[in-house]
Amino acid sequence: WFVGYSSRHRASQQTLKSNRDPSTAMSEPIRVLVTGAAGQIAYSLLYNLGNGDVFGKNQPLILVLLDITPMMKVLEGVVMEMEDCAFGLLKEVIATDKEEVAFKDIDVAILVGSMPRREGMERKDLLKANVKIFKSQGAALDKYAKKNVKVVVVGNPANTNCLTAAKSAPSIPRSNFSCLTRLDHNRARAQIAKRLQVSANDVKNVIIWGNHSSTQYPDVTHAKVKVQGKECEVYDEVKDDSWLKGEFITTVQQRGAAVIMARKLSSAMSASKAICDHVRDIWYGTGEGEFVSMGVISDGNSYSIPEDLIYSFPVVIKNKCWSFVEGLPINDFSRDKMDLTAKELAEEKETAIEFLASM
Ligand code: NAI
């Protein structure tokens, strides 16, 4: 099954036009895969991608959309809508249910699709179903994608799915894989901004440590806030340690569940915004003096987190490569919470490895 449309003619007109004006010269198109493309996160995300909100207004795109066979009719509708958006940057949209088509020569993979938890489903069964998906997609990355492909895993359990994909793609550097904890990061910034009645843009360097689950540790020990033009410590400005060590943390940890309770659907608009922030930072780097949270492979040294887990750390990104923000002092309160979420990830990993070995 294969749907596709191409707007080569329109794009070549743009190239011709931009060739006369080097300041707006268009680059070569990049090939971006979104999985779970018929789902609700993708419905927001595809608009942002097509609109140039992630790779910029001068970066043409070929968008590849993967979903499972029963969703192809829905995906056809999504493709029609993308066409109707008349995005100038879209050179081509390819919709498919075949991994060998989806992963071919891609520059970026945004892996949103995963097996959702059904009522009565055991955690282990959910993990097993996802190990199967991400093993297969990891192998497809290994076989078909460019070797410098950047892979972002969103589908839950995001950290362990990311680890499974990375382990199944031995020819692609581990550092090219990351999982999304930027939504939690943004939630933490927003809670602080609301409390201090400033713009979310004035809050930076919050950290999400660990798993994208309710054991994650949102940490503002090193966070800064701009108040009347001056950069201050969040702790000094909030002046309420019990809120910062209590309600603030649980609000961020349980925000996803609260959205589901209210909306009867999971966070999609905010997840899409976070994916855009995450991928844009991978592509163009983080701002001066700023760090962000990303699930990346642990090396066993940084912050004494056991090696070979996809664990959310503070990172900076330059030239499309991330590095740990090293040397932040960690107090006992933080240490306990960082270890707790690492323990959960180590258990998930053990189960995933067991399943991987048996497949
Ligand atoms: P959704 O259920 O609306 O869409 C998921 C789509 O994935 C469906 O169209 C489904 O057919 C597809 N899919 C399932 N298996 C697939 C496979 N093997 N290959 C390709 N596509 C496949 O779900 P929604 O709301 O879009 O969420 C997607 C995932 O993102 C969920 O796992 C959700 O828990 C997770 N999520 C993660 C967040 C994070 O911060 N890391 C935040 C919000 C959601």
**Segment 328-347, tens digit of pLDDT:** 999 999 999 999 999 999 99
Q: Can you tell me whether residue 245 is helix, strand or coil?
A: helix
Q: How far is the CA of 157 from the centre of ligand 1 (A)?
A: 10
Which residues of the chain are under the pLDDT cut of 50? 1-23
| Dihedral sign of CA atoms 97, 99, 104, 109 in order | positive
Instruction: Name the E strands within the chain.
Output: 2-6, 30-35, 61-66, 90-96, 108-111, 150-153, 177-179, 203-204, 207-209, 217-219, 224-227, 230-233, 292-297, 310-318, 321-324
- The pLDDT assigned to 219 comes to 98
Known catalytic membership, residue 212: yes
- The pLDDT assigned to 4 comes to 47
> Is the shortest distance between the CB of 156 and ligand 1 below 6 Å?
yes
- The pLDDT assigned to 25 comes to 63
Q: Are 222 and 205 a contacting pair, CB within 8 Å?
A: yes
CA distance 73 to 95: 10
Q: What is the pLDDT of residues 86-115, one digit of tens each?
A: 999 999 999 999 999 999 999 999 999 998
Q: How far is the CA of 74 from the centre of ligand 1 (A)?
A: 15
- The pLDDT assigned to 318 comes to 97
Q: What's the distance, CA 207 to chain centroid?
A: 15
Q: Give the position, in ligand 1's atom list, of the atom nearest the Cα of 158.
A: 41
pTM of the full predicted structure? 0.93
CA distance 232 to 236: 7
Q: How far is the CA of 160 from the centre of ligand 1 (A)?
A: 15
- The pLDDT assigned to 268 comes to 96
- The pLDDT assigned to 122 comes to 77
Q: Give the position, in ligand 1's atom list, of the atom nearest the Cα of 71.
A: 11
- The pLDDT assigned to 177 comes to 98
Q: How far is the CA of 260 from the centre of ligand 1 (A)?
A: 14
Residue 30 main-chain phi, psi, to 5 deg = -110, 155
Pocket test residue of 35, 75, 112 for ligand 1, highest count of atoms within 8 A of CB = 112
Q: Give the position, in ligand 1's atom list, of the atom nearest the Cα of 179.
A: 41
CA distance 76 to 355: 34
> Is the shortest distance between the CB of 126 and ligand 1 below 6 Å?
no
Q: How far is the CA of 35 from the centre of ligand 1 (A)?
A: 8
* Catalytic residue chosen out of the listed positions 9, 185, 212, 222: 212
Instruction: Name the E strands within 113-185.
Output: 150-153, 177-179
> Is the shortest distance between the CB of 44 and ligand 1 below 6 Å?
no
- The pLDDT assigned to 12 comes to 33
> Is the shortest distance between the CB of 268 and ligand 1 below 6 Å?
yes
> Which stretches of 147-246 are DSSP H helices?
158-167, 182-196, 234-238, 241-245
Q: Are 71 and 35 a contacting pair, CB within 8 Å?
A: no
